[in-house]
Structure 1
């Protein structure tokens, strides 16, 4: 759903850019608590920081894997729900912003003047809708891992048509072509409901995989664990802990990080070659209804990585694979740097430790 330059007029693009900048600024402050860089950080937040850059890189990789959803139409992960559930809503917004920035600057994917539109639609809206719905569901569902994965499925599913509706609203205000809004809304929401099913499946499987090996690393699952139950004499009783076990904070997320990075590199460098070549939901709707008549050439169209290929590499498989590996590597480096800086930053609002003096 990357909006190119030329779909939305300049005033609305600027307004969306201001809104996106405000959301990023708020997220930078909120992410410090999620990443463990604030004195008021939540328990377990120190384990979020190493994974945030990885989540951004993973979203970048999976977004290269367009999957067919209807005749001549494909879809891809938006990632807002996945990022918010894994590393928190504020950090999730930053993850998607980093991904969109890398895609726009390096790969000419998503317009640069439309960057604010894309961050608002694909980052802010998806995170707000998905995480709000996710938190509401886990409060009323049983406190189990199945509830977490089930809630992640529903949240991700709803977030995609919500983003499509948000784009339609922006188009209604600032669209550059004369297409009935009802037509755009029904076409966008209709196809993105189907795409949402794919998004939901990817999100549920990824969250479930992390839950299976390191539930303490899933932001959305914190505080939701329940004691192990044993059946004794026909009754369920709480089991005693088997051992005083190593504190979760002392357990390094290195294995998960390395496994996740290897998976992202494999997906972007190899599996992406087999992705659907059909236009995604927005591209298809735009082509069918003439919205793309005013599309502008991307400012980075001459980038050596434009269209997810490496210039001067004639073999399509090698070119796309190299571009994917470069994109994942660049995203994990930039993302990790951003999140490390956010976690380290101290602001004047942080309470300084009180100095104890002996007045005796």
Structure 2
């Protein structure tokens, strides 16, 4: 095992390193504009907590993100609050590879139409707080333009999907291993889908993430600061919220990939069949029919439901079998078709059913 891999495993076994204080840092290493904005928003959410009368440093001590160093008797920031509200250069002193990117890759452009990067000149200190606020506004604007108009010709906001985006975005930053040099945090939007990438593996299994109820954030301070803003309400239930949004909106089921070095989440805002542009129109119709069927479905039933000829249905089914999007069950006249066993769509649907049964019938 390589030394770098051993270090990663050791960090994974002892998460929440963002709670450690930085002995040689002070409130001067935090961006005062970010701090004032954050304090004002939290004070508005908790008007009875007396935050308004506290100085910035007293406020940070009160919420537990700055603490007194028992050795030096000085007050120091934690790693988490430095990442969240810090000055960019101060952050880079502790995390030399700190970098976050947002790309709008919609359309037929070879590169991108919009970008936000922490290492480019900006009017704000590019900490987590400012990056999140800037990119969240851009995502909301782009996504809103994708949805239908109401009878007054006004775009109808899909609140459930917006919540799924917010949870995905926050998870990307709260679960990142900032000590890793690669990959950096990356948020990308394409035609029909978004991608969220962060350094570090998930600290719970994908199944536990989908079913919810288990929370093991790598950066507890960062997650706490998001909760104080009201951006993340319930720990351990972001996963079910993300997948429930896809199911309820009939979007393609999100895809998660994780290994020792990185985690990637793909979030779709188009349905399953539209997310496979390589399929012909007839193949999409047949695939959708098989996916939405309550159980295995025969070729004859597909032909009747879609008004297809035997030749048309057979060619579409052969193509879907060849690309492993569906599976055949039974033989001869009893042959029927189902979504491919082991596909993320089927696994997720089964997990959602199990989770639903656990919540309502325990």
Q: So what's the TM-score if we normalise by structure 2?
A: 0.24
Determine which structure has greater relative contact order: mean sequence separation of CA pairs < 8 Å that are 6+ residues apart, divided by chain length.
1
Structure with the bigger percentage of strand: 2
> Which is greater in Rg?
2
TM-score when normalising by structure 1: 0.24
Q: Identify the structure with the greater helix proportion.
A: 1
